[in-house]
Amino acid sequence: MNPQQDRILVTGGAGFIGANITAALLARPNTDVVVVDDFSSGDWRNLRPLDCELRAADCDDAQLLDEIAAGRFSAVFHEAAITDTTVMDQRRMVEVNTNAFAKLLAATAASRTRLIYASSAGVYGNSPAPNAIGKGEEPENIYGFSKLAMDRIAARWYRRHPSVIIGLRYFNVYGPGERHKNERSGNKTASMMLQLYEQIRAGKRPRLFKYGEQRRDFVYIRDVVAANLAALTAPRSGVCNVGSGRARCFNDVIDALRGSMGVEVEVEYFDNPFDFYQNHTEADLRDSRQLLDWQPRWELEAGVADYVKLLDAGHRGPCPQC
């Protein structure tokens, strides 16, 4: 291998965010990418345009851990996880999300390899917004808890160990590369942008929980990818939020879709069937600016317009220029 060549591992690279990170890494000079995915929720079509080395395996595969510990990768992006937040099997969630991550931490620490991993705004549960690191970390489901457990284990390592470990708490991510989430799961787990887009293009009325006033921090995938790339050069370990920094309601999403799709549609409101539902999330980005020297660039309306253009063109897979 050329000594100047970076060889970067992306776990969960067949998934939505992993495929977009892979695409962006491949666009860098002198960078090879190895994708490891078990295809439990990802989709091979996300990898179709990406010339990377691919392995179908668990992210805590023993041979892979040995390679990481031996220093064969210049950095690791860990995106693999059970991403369906309605899964209730506590043991399985913690095994796949938390245990596997602990093994990756040990392996990266052994070779001082930089580890950048996906955490989640789910760690904040229904705590009052704005959501800041170290405040209101009270997850309301096992998914959010498994991510908080990852952040806690990571903090233990980076207090004691010199290798750089960076956790990114993604808020509600939307954009190209997430179509499989509607097609594969019985539960639709794609962003509301995609779900509402598909309802409207199918000639149906878009459906929202009554009365569309719940507010979320929606962040466009291009900003999420930029945060990950910034984490490659961040000077120290830590965890930070990756959101737009602004809460917007679901009715705003409908307005943005109406504008960019050029349609007039009426919303059908219905009762929210979930016991647990995040009614207001908003990322406090102070730590993110300090740690990553990064800030989001895509407002909701601009992100939705970019996304709709790609969807209307039949685009599948990660963002073209990422």
Ligand X SMILES: NC(=O)c1ccc[n+]([C@@H]2O[C@H](COP(=O)([O-])OP(=O)(O)OC[C@H]3O[C@@H](n4cnc5c(N)ncnc54)[C@H](O)[C@@H]3O)[C@@H](O)[C@H]2O)c1
Q: Which is nearer to ligand X, 39 or 262 (CB)?
A: 39
137 binds ligand X (CB under 6 A): no
Binding ligand X (rule: CB under 6 A), the pick from 18, 144, 243, 296 is 18
Q: Which stretch binds ligand X (CB under 6 A): 8-16, 253-261, 268-276, 284-292?
A: 8-16
**Coil/strand/helix, residue 129:** coil
Nearest approach in angstroms of CB 162 to ligand X is 25
Residue in the structure block whose two tokens are 């639709």: 188
| Binding-site size, ligand X (CB under 6 A) | 28
Exactly one of 143, 170, 174, 197 is catalytic; name it.
143
Q: Omega into 130 within 30° of 0, i.e. cis?
A: yes
Tokens of 250: 């679901």
Nearest approach in angstroms of CB 185 to ligand X is 9
Q: What is the largest CA-CA distance in the chain?
A: 58
Residue 274 makes CB contacts below 8 A (sequence gap 6+) with: none
Q: Which is nearer to ligand X, 103 or 269 (CB)?
A: 103
Ramachandran bin of 159, using left for φ above 0, alpha for ψ from -120 to 50, beta for the remaining angles: alpha
11 binds ligand X (CB under 6 A): yes
Exactly one of 158, 170, 181, 307 is catalytic; name it.
181
What DSSP character marks residue 91? H
Binding ligand X (rule: CB under 6 A), the pick from 6, 26, 32, 38 is 38
Pairing of strands 114-120, 165-170: parallel
140 binds ligand X (CB under 6 A): no
What DSSP character marks residue 49? T
Q: Which stretch binds ligand X (CB under 6 A): 12-20, 21-29, 197-205, 282-290?
A: 12-20
What DSSP character marks residue 267? -
**Would you call 197 a catalytic residue per the annotation?**
no
Q: Which is nearer to ligand X, 16 or 158 (CB)?
A: 16
Tokens of 97: 């999300």
120 binds ligand X (CB under 6 A): yes
User: d(Cα 257, Cα 311) in Å, to the nearest integer?
Assistant: 12
Instruction: Find the binding residues for ligand X in span 170-199 (CB under 6 A).
Output: 170, 172-173, 181
Site string for ligand X, 65-104 (x = CB under 6 A): --------------xxx-x------------x---x----
Phi, psi of 116 (to 5 degrees): -115, 125
141 binds ligand X (CB under 6 A): no
118 binds ligand X (CB under 6 A): yes
Nearest approach in angstroms of CB 301 to ligand X is 19
Residue in the structure block whose two tokens are 């990481």: 68
58 binds ligand X (CB under 6 A): yes
Q: Which is nearer to ligand X, 36 or 133 (CB)?
A: 36
Name the H helices within 88-220: 90-93, 100-111, 142-160, 180-184, 192-201
- Please return the burial class of 191, using the count of CB atoms within 10 Å of its CB with bins 0-12, 13-18 and 19+: buried
- Please return the burial class of 128, using the count of CB atoms within 10 Å of its CB with bins 0-12, 13-18 and 19+: exposed
User: d(Cα 242, Cα 287) in Å, to the nearest integer?
Assistant: 10
Q: Which is nearer to ligand X, 170 or 307 (CB)?
A: 170
Q: Which is nearer to ligand X, 14 or 283 (CB)?
A: 14
User: d(Cα 282, Cα 162) in Å, to the nearest integer?
Assistant: 31
**Would you call 210 a catalytic residue per the annotation?**
no
| Residues known to be catalytic | 143, 181
Site residues (CB under 6 A) for ligand X? 11-12, 14-18, 36-42, 58-59, 79-81, 83, 96, 100, 118, 120, 170, 172-173, 181
